[in-house]
Chain A
């Protein structure tokens, strides 16, 4: 069941928020021991919120499609009175006195917060193999990673624990778990969703967005959380659009760019085939698929890595005196950032502007870009490298190769299921749009979802 289906059932009185919430708590109770997707459960407050939602709906006070819907947030969003760990031993007992703006907005929309999801330590990695809270596991194969850093959010949505879970994305951390777990994941434009009250990994690359079971559910979630926030200096005053695609949305005559370089290189042939199949589907729906050559994405990724290393190390500098508090992989990244000269950071931020201008030229030729989200399906827990044809790549670098640069450019991007590999593991299609054109990428993704149906939106066996 999707958010929109549940919302309709709530208004037809065929189900109550209390029943949906009990089902979410029961499912989580059954499955979480296998997946470790949740760090904190909020059974009591969730039940109270659900009863309040039922009372409001019965009295005719309707807060919109999220009203009464069980959701979760990654354990990096501050929740007043509820600990917020960031998956780190440093914040193990951190109980904030405020709610993040996103948490406030979800509450205002009537959503029922049932728990806080597991993640890669400090959101600094792609495996969610957390040394302090244990590995989060992929519902498709519990020996495999769910991706990260929002791995618990991906696993929780994929395994039907909740209808929507919030994630954060600094170098792909919403889109990667969405691809590996077979869900939708939306990273909005920089400034579209407030960062206030979210423990930062980084200053200029962090983005907040939803993971959901369907494209339209992602649109519903974005509509609830988007908007200017004076408490976040990077928040944009760009008006919030109308995001929900129509039931019969058309993509006729839209120009879809299919990269001829970089994005369809060094990847599993199953991924290549799945992305081309989605491009062919788009063409069959009347869109124009235009071959494009993209600017130097390898350089863009390098710039992104310099910025992230420097900024994340600046954020965590005051904690690095006690090195035992960090997992080995995170500590290694923090050390790298501390060793970079300040001039490299400044020049990376200058190169960011240069590359933004180069990339912007593409938008005169196309309306959106299709790429794979990741070059392969979810690796096994503990795997350090992946083999992609004749190449062997580091798991972290391979996993972030197609997504990291989009954060540097600040563009909106969605990952949606696009089928499975030969082992039956889900794969993701990434659709990238112009700044603040979330409505268009949601429209394209919804049209593809409508056309491909359940076959591209698989359900895990767990």
Chain B
């Protein structure tokens, strides 16, 4: 399990400890479901977030 309190502190997120306790179980569950999925992503798969330079230039 990650220490969400320390992560919040390190990132200066200013989330009260009691609120982190409230979200920790949900984050732990998400972490447990998500982490195994990342193991088998082929190296050449790019994220589905695009930056189209031509459109940026026009803007």
Listed in ascending order, the chain A residues whose CB lies under 8 Å from chain B are 204, 233, 298-299, 302-303, 305-306, 309, 321, 331-332, 335-336, 338-340, 344, 346-354, 356
**Interfacial chain A residues near B4, Cβ < 8 Å:** 339
A306 touching B46 by the CB < 8 A rule? no
B15 touching A233 by the CB < 8 A rule? no
B20 touching A335 by the CB < 8 A rule? yes
Is B33's CB within 8 Å of the partner chain A? yes
Give how many A-B residue pairs fall within 8 Å (CB-CB): 75
A354 touching B34 by the CB < 8 A rule? no
* Interface core residue of A298, A332, A344, A350 (most chain B CB under 10 Å): A350
Given contacts A336-B23, A336-B27, A353-B46, contact A298 B15 (CB under 8 A): no
Q: List the 9 shortest-distance A-B pairs measured between CB atoms, nearest first.
A: A349-B47, A352-B48, A302-B33, A349-B48, A347-B38, A350-B45, A350-B47, A336-B23, A335-B23
B13 touching A344 by the CB < 8 A rule? no
Nearest A residue to B16, CB-CB:
A323
B4 to chain A, nearest CB (A): 6
Interface residues of B in 1-23 (CB under 8 A from A): 4, 7-8, 11, 13-15, 19-20, 22-23
B48 touching A350 by the CB < 8 A rule? yes
* Interface core residue of A233, A306, A336 (most chain B CB under 10 Å): A336
**Interfacial chain A residues near B42, Cβ < 8 Å:** 354
B47 touching A332 by the CB < 8 A rule? no
> Interface residues of B toward A: which range?
20 to 34
A315 to chain B, nearest CB (A): 14
**What would 28 A/B residue contacts be, using CB atoms closer than 8 Å?**
A204-B49, A299-B33, A302-B34, A303-B37, A305-B30, A306-B30, A321-B14, A332-B19, A332-B26, A335-B15, A335-B23, A336-B23, A338-B8, A338-B13, A339-B4, A339-B7, A339-B20, A344-B34, A347-B37, A347-B38, A347-B47, A348-B34, A349-B47, A349-B49, A350-B47, A350-B48, A351-B41, A356-B48
**Interfacial chain A residues near B20, Cβ < 8 Å:** 335, 339
Bound together, the chains give a CA A321 to CA B55 distance in angstroms of 33
Nearest B residue to A307, CB-CB:
B48
A351 touching B38 by the CB < 8 A rule? yes
Bound together, the chains give a CA A349 to CA B19 distance in angstroms of 28
**Interfacial chain B residues near A346, Cβ < 8 Å:** 47, 49
A233 touching B47 by the CB < 8 A rule? no
B17 to chain A, nearest CB (A): 12
**Interfacial chain B residues near A299, Cβ < 8 Å:** 33, 37
B37 touching A339 by the CB < 8 A rule? no
Nearest A residue to B32, CB-CB:
A302
B28 to chain A, nearest CB (A): 11
**Interfacial chain B residues near A204, Cβ < 8 Å:** 48-49
**Interfacial chain A residues near B52, Cβ < 8 Å:** 233
A306, A331, A344, A354: which contacts B45 (Cβ < 8 A)?
A354
* Interface core residue of B4, B7, B45 (most chain A CB under 10 Å): B45
Given contacts A204-B49, A332-B19, A332-B22, contact A298 B33 (CB under 8 A): yes
**Interfacial chain A residues near B11, Cβ < 8 Å:** 338
**Interfacial chain B residues near A356, Cβ < 8 Å:** 48
**Interfacial chain A residues near B37, Cβ < 8 Å:** 299, 302-303, 347, 351
* Interface core residue of A339, A340, A349, A354 (most chain B CB under 10 Å): A339
**Interfacial chain B residues near A305, Cβ < 8 Å:** 30
Bound together, the chains give a CA A31 to CA B15 distance in angstroms of 41
Bound together, the chains give a CA A335 to CA B5 distance in angstroms of 11
B48 touching A347 by the CB < 8 A rule? no
Bound together, the chains give a CA A338 to CA B38 distance in angstroms of 20
B44 to chain A, nearest CB (A): 10
Bound together, the chains give a CA A331 to CA B52 distance in angstroms of 33
Bound together, the chains give a CA A233 to CA B48 distance in angstroms of 14
B27 touching A339 by the CB < 8 A rule? yes
B26 touching A336 by the CB < 8 A rule? yes
A321 to chain B, nearest CB (A): 8
Bound together, the chains give a CA A339 to CA B20 distance in angstroms of 9
Given contacts A233-B55, A298-B33, A306-B34, contact A354 B41 (CB under 8 A): yes
Bound together, the chains give a CA A348 to CA B15 distance in angstroms of 24
Bound together, the chains give a CA A336 to CA B37 distance in angstroms of 19
A352 to chain B, nearest CB (A): 4
B29 to chain A, nearest CB (A): 10
